[in-house]
């Protein structure tokens, strides 16, 4: 089980995750190890983390994400979220137990020429209510902060959002 937190406040963005990964066989935990779960994307000033099933195809997510980050040509967080969604949909192989996975992508971007925080949730499951089981519709990239949490404050009234929330 992964603990991953992304907090957006008036003073900045904080991303944190535990480092434990569980290896399971036939539904039983066989061992645990420490794995990287947060990755910096320096050229975009962003951080991405993951939770859930930790493989894409035959590759462990840490190695797969390193390669993805190295080769992406995305010039914004929106482009990166879309490219990640599309690559995952092309390369993902569901495990036998249908466990889903998700990614938190956070950083800053421009909205109407104003630098604002952005947060994307890239996931292939229906959330906690669905016990993180992968859905048949594949991965989606939801811009949760700008299009849900702070939508009525974007981009010029973020201070009010932070005061009220």
Q: Which pLDDT score, from 0 to 100, does residue 118 have? A: 97
Cα Rg, the chain, nearest whole Å = 16
Question: Which residues contact residue 136 at a Cβ distance below 8 angstroms, ignoring those fewer than 6 apart?
Answer: none
Residue 101 main-chain phi, psi, to 5 deg: -145, 165
- Which pTM was predicted? 0.90
Q: Which pLDDT score, from 0 to 100, does residue 24 have? A: 67
**CA 135 to chain CA centroid, nearest Å:** 17
Q: Which pLDDT score, from 0 to 100, does residue 108 have? A: 96
The CA-atom distances, in angstroms, between 138 and each of 75, 91, 162 are 24, 11, 33
Alpha helices in 18-113, H assignment, sequence order: 61-71, 77-91
Residues of the chain with pLDDT under 50: none
């Amino acid at each position: 089980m992964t603990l991953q937190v992304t907090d957006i406040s008036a003073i900045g963005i904080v991303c944190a995750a535990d480092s434990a990964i569980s290896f399971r066989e036939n539904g039983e935990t066989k061992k645990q190890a420490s794995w990287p779960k947060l990755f910096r994307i320096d050229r975009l000033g962003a951080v991405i983390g993951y939770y859930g099933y930790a493989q894409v195809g035959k590759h462990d997510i840490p190695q797969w994400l390193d390669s993805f980050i190295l080769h992406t040509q995305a010039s914004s967080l929106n482009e990166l979220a879309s490219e990640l969604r599309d690559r995952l949909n092309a390369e993902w192989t569901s495990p036998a137990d249908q466990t889903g996975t998700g990614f938190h992508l956070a950083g800053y971007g421009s909205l109407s020429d104003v630098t604002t925080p952005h947060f994307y949730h890239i996931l292939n499951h229906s959330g906690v209510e669905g016990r993180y089981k992968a859905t048949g519709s594949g991965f989606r990239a939801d811009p949760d902060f700008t299009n849900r949490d702070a939508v009525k404050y974007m981009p010029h009234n973020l201070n009010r959002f932070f005061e009220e929330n």
